[in-house]
Amino acid sequence: MTLTTAPQGPASSEPQGPASSEPQGPSTSRAPAPPSPRPVRRHRDVAGLLLRGWTVLVLVFLFLPILFVVAYSFNSGRRLVIWDGFGTNWYGTAVGNEVVTGSVTTSLVVAALTALLAVVLGALAGIALARRGGGWSAPFLAVVALVLVTPEIVDAIAYLVWFVRLGIADPYVRLVVGHSVYASAVVTLLVRARLQGLDESLEEAAADLGAPPLRAFRLVTLPLLMPALVAGGLLAFTTSLDNVVISAFVSTAGTTTLPVYVLSSLRTGLKGDLAAISVLMLAVTLLALVLAALVLRRGGASAEQVTGTLTGAG
């Protein structure tokens, strides 16, 4: 008897799973959907809006008094706080007053000399602290910190007694020395911080290439210090320009600075010429800042670096 078999078909390449009589449902092992980020974004938007609003309020609080003085310097009335109409008569009165122009000239000359002396002394002290420090550094830094935190009235009395003791009668010497002590301490810290963040190998490379110390300082160290020197010079100029306490103690007749003149004039009331001369001095200060920014930009500094330098943070 012959047995016949059915022909075998090709084997399936897919594995056959067990048959199931239940319908296949959605898989229960799927990961849950991530939460919607909309609430977080809304929270961040509200926080950012509140911070922007607070920033605007702070700026208004800081600059509104200055804007008030600028606006009322164009008041044609006799009193500063009573608006009678637009006019520029107070500017002519202030410029034509010899006492006012003399005090402005004295303030500008003293501020320029103070900035120059503070930059020279502060730069030398900062370089010594950063590059040739030793056992003397800590006591010297303590003295610098003491100069910065001493009340100005104490400094003014000390300078007056010291000048009288030494027989120094020149008013410009008194004012420049009195103003430059604090300014020199500020420049010292700025220069020291600037040099500590720079590699000394640049100066050593210049010496290895045969540059004398003075030429290496002029071509390498001085350009690296320029931002700190500009910032220190501006700070010294502005602090000298608005110094009242020390100027009132050490100045003599005929060399009254502008802040002392304004303080003495307030006893007779608020007049428009005080606002006018204050606006002119503000314009001089802003012009100095603009010129310093242009010098730094021509030197290759970025906008962020210029801002940091002018604010003392660069």
Domain boundaries of the chain, sorted by first residue = 98-310
Query: Alpha-carbon distance 312 to 168, whole Å?
Result: 33
Q: Which residues pair with 86 in a beta bridge?
A: 75
pLDDT at 206: 74
Give this prediction's pTM.
Answer: 0.72
Tokens of 94: 């202030």
255: Cβ–Cβ under 8 A, 6 or more apart, which residues? 106, 171, 172, 175
Please give the CATH number for the structural domain made up of 98-310. Answer: 1.10.3720.10
Q: What is the pLDDT of residue 285?
A: 80
Per-residue pLDDT of the chain (314 residues; tens, 9 = 90+): 444 444 454 444 444 444 444 455 555 556 565 555 555 566 677 888 888 999 999 999 988 888 888 888 888 777 777 777 788 888 888 888 888 888 888 999 999 999 999 999 999 998 888 888 778 888 999 999 899 888 989 999 999 999 999 988 888 999 999 999 999 998 998 888 888 877 777 777 777 777 777 777 777 778 888 878 888 888 888 889 888 899 999 888 778 888 888 888 877 777 777 888 888 888 888 887 787 777 667 656 666 766 665 665 55
Where do we find the tokens 């849950």? 32
Rg for the chain (alpha carbons), in Å? 35
- List Cα–Cα distances, 242 to 88, 117, 185, 239, in angstroms: 24, 17, 18, 6
pLDDT of residue 11: 45
- Note the pLDDT of residue 156: 92
